[in-house]
Amino acid sequence: MASPSITIALAGNPNSGKTTIFNNLTGARQKVGNWPGVTVEKKEGTVNFKGHTIKVVDLPGTYSLTAYSVEERVARDFILNSNPDVVVDILDASNLERNLYLATQLIEMGVNLILVLNMADVARSRGIDIDAELLSQLLGVPVVFTVGKLNEGTQELLEKVIEVAGQKKDNEKTIYVTYGKEIEEELGKINEEIVKARPDLGSHYTRWLSVKLLENDPLAIKEVKSWSNGGDAVLDATRKSREHLEEIYHEDPEILITEQRYGFIQGACREAIKTSTQQKIDISQKIDLVLTNRLFGFPIFIFFIWAMFQLTFTLGEYPMNWIDSMMSVIQGLASNILPSGLIKDLIVDGILAGVGSVIIFLPNILILFFCIALLEDTGYMARAAFLMDRIMHWIGLHGKSFIPMLIGFGCNVPAIMATRTLESERDRILTILINPLMSCSARLPVYVLIAGTFFAGKAGTVIFSIYLLGIVLAILTAQLFSKTILKGMSMPFVMELPPYRVPTFKSLMIHMWDRGVIFLKKMGGVILVGSVIIWVLGTFPRNPGIFEKYAKEKHQISSIYAEKLSQASTEADKTALKKEMEKAIEELNIRANQERMAQTFLGRIGKVVEPVLKPLGFDWRIGIALLSGFVAKEVVVSTMGVIYSGGSQEKTGEKSLKKALKAEKFDAAKAYAFMAFVLIYTPCLATVAAIRREIGTKWMIFNVVYSLTLAWIVAWTIYHIGQFIA
């Protein structure tokens, strides 16, 4: 039996407590995704109430419904095209005037609207007394009070939703903003042409369209243009009306309309709201005296960031170690139980290792997003942006980009997921694209190995310079992109500084859990599959002949030395011979491994890309290391261990790898170029998956191509300058 289903859309200004209401309505039954085609987050949930199944869609928080930002377009399109049964507009009751601006536009769209005056307690404590009944009468819309953080008024809201959804929209009762005689006359003219061209449209819609056309709204104009006939007449009438109004008022019609809307709101507020003379005590302002203080603002900010890093990457290390040892226990068990062979290798080295590389990130992500939710829900994030904007704006970014950039030094995956705190799509894309240049902690082992080998004594300085190189490249890239591919998408900064609030535990947990689920579900699969693919490429095709051949050689060496040993007379000779034998076997192992690797798909790809890497001084073996680094950058080290020092790292240790590298014709220039390449070249699989998930396949491909190109150019430059100096 299908229960009656109702769809409601939640609209409202940012910071109006919309998310809290959404959480109160739907609890944990949420689905987080993206709106089709854009990088704006879409949240949906359902609630069962009195036999009704109510689907709740959370629209992006907006101040208006113009066509000028992605968020506003998304909200508007959903209301117009998906026809939700009820639109619930969440308003901050303590800041009603500005919040009602969006409401006037929703009323104009002719939707079944409910106004929710949220944070009613704050309003009351500020001495704001709202006569809900009168306000409801004046606006022609039902009004409900809620206190989101205490979950008050949720039942009443649901009751109202069912009541309103059951009613037919009463056209007579709709109270429009009246725009004054002159504008109304012009609206009438445009409306007349619209009705002539499209008699099938409802009167709400034609009225709304007339207003939008007079406002010069590009989407409305586009729609009218698409009509098969009559569209030109409508646009003609619009143009005339706009010219006429500009002549009278010497002002753009869209400004006149905005002013009239605010005038209408002010009229309603004057009647329905009484503000007592009692001086409001603004705690928020007092907190800000300290937190954005000229002297203490930055130190406090740095402390918070430091604390967040400590929690995420230091505290997070404990659960990460548990997961790590748990995974090795499971891997150990699996390799004991399973019979030797390909299946075992696939499960242990391919799948289980892949799963491990996914869930190892989970503690970081959960802790970090708990912290970020805390910063956001308290209102501190806006202050952080306020503090940092000067610096970030210079780079071409928004103040809020700072935190994702910083997190990037820990791990780019949560950093990219954290860009959701940015409101404008352009800032989000730019911040994500340059984020991988923040050298994450997985790249550090590579620097430590290489710098430690070739720049002994000044390894610290060299590694620092690599980090610095990343930052400089990020700044240059940001400036390049904001002047080219992202040009013209720049949004005004204008940012509300919401009052400080005590966050609800529930909302923090939901936020944290959301990110965890997104990571496991949407990215986990990709990372897992990728790890298995790299494993397959590095294993197949197998050539048992190699093993036999080298086993034979090994046997020969052993027998030769066994004979020599038996003939040796002194103890010293014996130890020298033993050493010689070990060395010979080690060399043999290296050769065996290299030959085996060269025959695998990975090795063959390495050989194929060798000509491209040659100008940088890299050969196919470095190619293989870099390819395998795609799974996770720290893998570069272990792959080099396998290739250069024969056998696994645990057995031979880093020392022998260093020795082996030194024996290769690695010089300082090549070593530095290699580190730079590891820093810049295509981010790891998890990061690439995160980029795709946040801003889509197109930008992901762009990022991969760009980073490879940049890595090549920078490494080439370094290599050649280095050689020139030498």
CA distances from 611 to 180, 616, 620, 680 (A): 74, 10, 9, 20
Q: How far is the CB of 90 from another protein (least distance, A)?
A: 16
Of 385 and 715, which has the nearer Cβ to another protein? 385
Residue 263 CA to residue 253 CA, distance in Å, equals 15
CA distance 615 to 610: 9
SS3 244: helix
Identity of residue 201 = L
Contact flag: residue 255 with another protein (CB under 8 A): yes
Site string for another protein, 148-187 (x = CB under 8 A): ----------------------------------------
Confirm if 601 and 609 have CB atoms less than 8 A apart: no
Question: Does 254 participate in binding another protein (rule CB under 8 A)?
Answer: yes
Number of shown-chain residues binding another protein (CB under 8 A): 42
Provide the minimum distance between the beta carbon of 396 and another protein in the complex, in angstroms, as a whole number: 13
* Nearest distance from C-beta of residue 707 to another protein, angstroms: 31
Neighbour-count burial for 562-586, b at 16+ CB within 10 Å, e otherwise? eeeeeebeeeeeeeebeeebeebbb
Q: In the bound complex, what is the minimum distance in angstroms from residue 389's beta carbon to another protein?
A: 5
Phi, psi of 43 (to 5 degrees): -120, 135
Q: Which residue, 296 or 464, has its beta carbon nearer to another protein?
A: 296
Site for another protein in 437-496 (CB under 8 A): 490-496
Closer by beta carbon to another protein, 193 or else 215:
215
Cα separation, 6 vs 107, whole angstroms: 20
Residues 6+ apart with CB under 8 A from 244: 186
Shorter beta-carbon distance to another protein: residue 151 or 260: 260
Residue 283 CA: distances (Å) to CA of 97, 386, 500: 21, 19, 8
Nearest 10 degrees: CA dihedral of 657, 661, 664, 670? 160
Query: Considering the complex, what minimum distance in angstroms separates the CB of residue 437 from another protein?
Result: 24
The Cα–Cα gap between 538 and 13 comes to 52
Question: Closest CB to another protein among 64 and 174?
Answer: 64
Q: How far is the C-alpha of 134 from the C-alpha of 140, rounded, in Å?
A: 10
Of these, 20, 95, 210, 707, which contacts another protein (CB under 8 A)? 95
> In whole angstroms, how close is the CB of 300 to another protein at the nearest point?
11
Q: How far is the CB of 184 from another protein (least distance, A)?
A: 20
Backbone angles phi, psi at 274, to 5 degrees: -120, 125
In 3D space, the residue among 105, 118, 115, 17 whose CA is nearest the CA of residue 61 turns out to be 17
Q: How far is the CB of 664 from another protein (least distance, A)?
A: 49
Interface with another protein, residue 97, by CB under 8 A: yes
Is residue 393 within 8 A of residue 407, CB to CB? The reply is: no
- For the CB of residue 115, give the shortest distance to another protein in the complex, in Å: 18
At 85 the three-state DSSP class reads: coil
Here the tokens at position 257 are 């309309």
Q: 163, 178 in Cβ contact below 8 A? A: no
623 vs 610: CA distance, rounded Å: 7
Q: How far is the CB of 182 from another protein (least distance, A)?
A: 17
CB 92 → another protein: shortest distance, Å? Answer: 8
Residue nearer to another protein on the CB measure, 386 or 672: 386
Residue 101 binds another protein (CB under 8 A): yes
Q: Which is nearer to another protein, 257 or 417 (CB)?
A: 257
From 164-172, 194-202, 381-389, 521-529, span contacting another protein (CB under 8 A): 381-389
Query: Which member of 377, 389, 423, 694 binds another protein (CB under 8 A)?
Result: 389
Closest CA to 316 of 360, 374, 376: 360
Binding mask 261-300 for another protein (x = CB under 8 A): -x---------------------xx--x---xxxx-xx--
Cβ closer to another protein: 262 or 601?
Answer: 262
Whole-number Å distance between alpha carbons of 393 and 495: 14
Task: Name which of 96 and 359 has its Cβ closer to another protein.
Answer: 96
Quote the least distance from Cβ 142 to another protein, whole Å.
24
| Amino acid letter, residue 134 | L
Rounded CA separation 555/75 (Å): 74
Site map 224..243 versus another protein, x via CB under 8 A = --------------------
Other CB atoms closer than 10 Å to residue 420's CB: what's the count? 18
Q: Which stretch binds another protein (CB under 8 A): 89-97, 129-137, 158-166, 477-485?
A: 89-97
- In the region spanning residues 487 to 546, those forming contacts with another protein, defined by CB under 8 A, are 490-499
Select from 304, 361, 369, 386 the one that contacts another protein (CB under 8 A).
386
Of 394 and 464, the one with the shorter C-beta distance to another protein is 394
- Is 121 a residue that touches another protein (CB under 8 A)? no
Site string for another protein, 50-69 (x = CB under 8 A): -------------xx-x-x-
Q: Smaller CB distance to another protein: residue 394 or 547?
A: 394
- Rounded Cα distance between 686 and 499, Å, is 36
| Shortest Å distance, C-beta 126 to another protein | 9
The H or E element spanning position 648 is: none
Sole window of 108-116, 353-361, 386-394, 428-436 interacting with another protein (rule: CB under 8 A): 386-394
> What does the DSSP 8-state code read for residue 541?
S
Amino acid at 642: V
Residue environment code for 112-133, b if the CB has 16+ CB neighbours within 10 A, otherwise e = bbbbbbbbbbbbbebebebebe
Q: Pick between residue 59 and residue 711 the one whose CB is nearest to another protein.
A: 59
**Contacts with another protein, residue ranges (CB under 8 A):** 63-64, 66, 68, 94-95, 97-98, 101, 252, 254-255, 258-259, 262, 284-285, 288, 292-295, 297-298, 382, 386-387, 389-391, 393, 399, 490-499
